[in-house]
Every structure is written in C-alpha cells, then in structure tokens.
Amino acid sequence: MRLTKRKTKEDMVFDLINYFILTVILIIVLYPLYFIVIASISDPDLVSIGKVWILPKGITFEGYKRIFSDSSILTGYRNSIIYAALGALVTVILTVTAAYPLSVKGFYGKNFFMAVFMVTMFFGGGLIPTYLLVKNLHMVDTVWSMVIPNAVGVFNLIITRTFFAMSIPEGLREAAAIDGCSEIGTFIKIVLPLSKPIIAVIALFTIVGQWNGFFDALIYINKEKLYPLQLILRNILIQSQPQQGMVNDVDTLLAKQKAKQLIQYGVIIVSSAPLLIIYPFLQKYFVKGVMVGSIKG
C-alpha cells in the first residue's frame, strides 16, 4: 500500500501563495495578447475611451475585412513560409556542421576558429557594404537574399557547441570509431539523432526571426511578388494612414482614423497567429535545448 505524506497547514498556505503568484503572472503575460484580440473586433471609439476590458464591445470585423481584401496577403503568407522554412533548414545545417567540430576535443585550431566567429559579434561590415556584397553575389530580388546573409548566428553556434560538448559523451564517439564508423558517419548516425532539442531550438529561433523580419526585405527585395507577410502588412498599415491635408471632410478623416486603429490590432493578430500555433509543438524541445545550451558557455 502506497503511503502519501499528508500536507501540513504551512504546506497548504505555501501552495496557495504559489498558485496566487503564478496566476497573477499568467494574467500579466496573457492579458495584453487577449486585449489585442478583443480590441481588433471592437469599436475603436470604445477602445480609445477605455470601455473595452474583458469582452469586446461594438463588435466589428472591418479591420480584418480591409486586411484580407488585399490580394497580396496570401502571397505574403506563402513567401514568409518559404523564407522561414528554407532559412531554418539552411541555418540548422550550417550551425550544427560548424558547431560539432568546435565541440570535439581533438580538433586542431578550434580556438582560433571560435575567436574568428566571436569577432563578428562585436564588429560588422555595416549596411552599405553588406548590400553591395549581396548585390555583387546577384542575390538582390531573390529568395537567397532573405536566407543567406543571416544564416549563421554566433549565439546559436555557441549554444549548439555547448550542447554537443555536454550532451554527447566522448566515449560514444570513441566507441563508434572502434566499430569502424567515420567522423561523418558518427555525426549523421549518432550525434544528430541525439540533438533533436537543440535543432528544434535553432529552427524555432530562425523561424521566429524570419517571420517577424521585414528590414532585409525592405533593403533587398523590390518585386512585390517576393514581399514577405510583414512587409505587406506594413504597406497596408501605411496606406491606411489618414492624410489630414488630403481629406477635407472631418467625418471621412475620423472614419479613416478608426479603420487605421482596427487595422493596427488586426495586423498584430494576423502576423502572430502562425507562430502561436507552431510554438506548442516545439516547446518541450525549446525549453530543454535552451537550458542545456545556457549552463556552460
């Protein structure tokens, strides 16, 4: 018969305090997102005067209608998915193949190569030289301009190297070598299957960065058919800005101002929804990988 320890009064009080604190933190974290959702379908006038708190009021879907009436939205979603997926694939391949040798004790010159990588964390070429390099490589107005320039991050490289050094025992590599497995075979057959957490972390970091980024597209992409979602949403938001000098009718100006506020909230939901959907599936790997990679640098 299994015996369970009975909680004392002090334990119950401690648990209640913990539950209370965690509930308050949960509300603080989730309420801003919830407010954006209800504000995106509420009357902007009621939102402005602070009457929208818990439930939407004066429900309207005008903001979403204006956003999705733009035919380029689907194109933006498609492009962003391509950039995020391709960027994650390229980043994971380059990062793990660079981090693995740096984690092996017998790799000659790894300190030198790590120092070279570290220099890029403190010094960069700048916007103009980077643009000229991308242009000379004929990557302007191509998918690769969104993928290659930021394919390898030194931070990702460091946590991946740390993960390999801490999670892959040296004896496992030695055993594989005794069995006749080459370094490449060890990496593919043993190291990669054991590295799912850190691979998921790097992929998630890259997907989030690609999905939220619009500056690179603003610099390197001129063709509208290649615009990512964030750039298209930015253009929709700019177009919705009321120009007071061009609008003589006060009612029209106020209507445009209300539409702009609805579009602002709607744009946040439209751009964030895919990440909120995909994150729960990668959360367990994300937490484990970040913790392992952050223990020792």
pLDDT higher at 179 or 134: 134
pLDDT digits 0-9 by tens, 200-256: 888 888 888 888 888 888 899 988 888 888 888 787 777 666 555 545 555 566 666
Give the C-alpha separation, 127 to 289, whole Å. Answer: 32
Give the C-alpha separation, 213 to 205, whole Å. Answer: 12
- From residue 29, give the alpha-carbon distance in Å to each of 33, 145, 276: 8, 35, 14
Which residue matches tokens 């998921």? 200
pTM of the predicted model as reported, rounded to 2 decimal places: 0.77
- From residue 67, give the alpha-carbon distance in Å to each of 25, 204, 262: 33, 27, 10
Residues in contact with 209: Cβ distance below 8 Å, sequence separation at least 6, in sequence order: 87, 150
pLDDT digits 0-9 by tens, 76-95: 888 999 999 999 999 999 99
Give the C-alpha separation, 229 to 175, whole Å. Answer: 48
297 pLDDT more than 50:
no
Closest CA to 174 of 183, 166, 165: 183
Q: H helices then E strands: how many in the chain?
A: 13, 0
Would you identify the CATH topology of the domain 70-295? MetI-like fold (1.10.3720)
- Nearest 5°: CA angle at 173, between 170 and 179? 140
Q: Which string of DSSP letters, residue by residue, matches 20-85? A: HHHHHHHHHHHHHHHHHHHHTTS-HHHHHTT--SSS--S---HHHHHHHTSTHHHHHHHHHHHHHH
> Which helix (H) or strand (E) segment is 214 a member of?
none
Domain residue spans in the chain? Answer: 9-69, 70-295
Contact in structure between 19 and 27 (CB atoms under 8 Å): no
- Confidence at 1, pLDDT banded by 50, 70, 90: very low
Q: What percent of the chain has pLDDT over 70?
A: 87
Contact in structure between 184 and 275 (CB atoms under 8 Å): no
pLDDT digits 0-9 by tens, 35-88: 888 888 888 888 878 788 888 888 888 888 887 887 788 888 889 999 999 999
Torsion on CA atoms 75, 77, 80, 85, rounded to nearest 10: -120
Which residue matches tokens 């504000």? 39
Tell me whether residue 157 is exposed, middle or buried, using C-beta atoms within 10 angstroms of its C-beta: 0 to 12, 13 to 18, 19 or more.
buried
What's the pLDDT at 271? 82
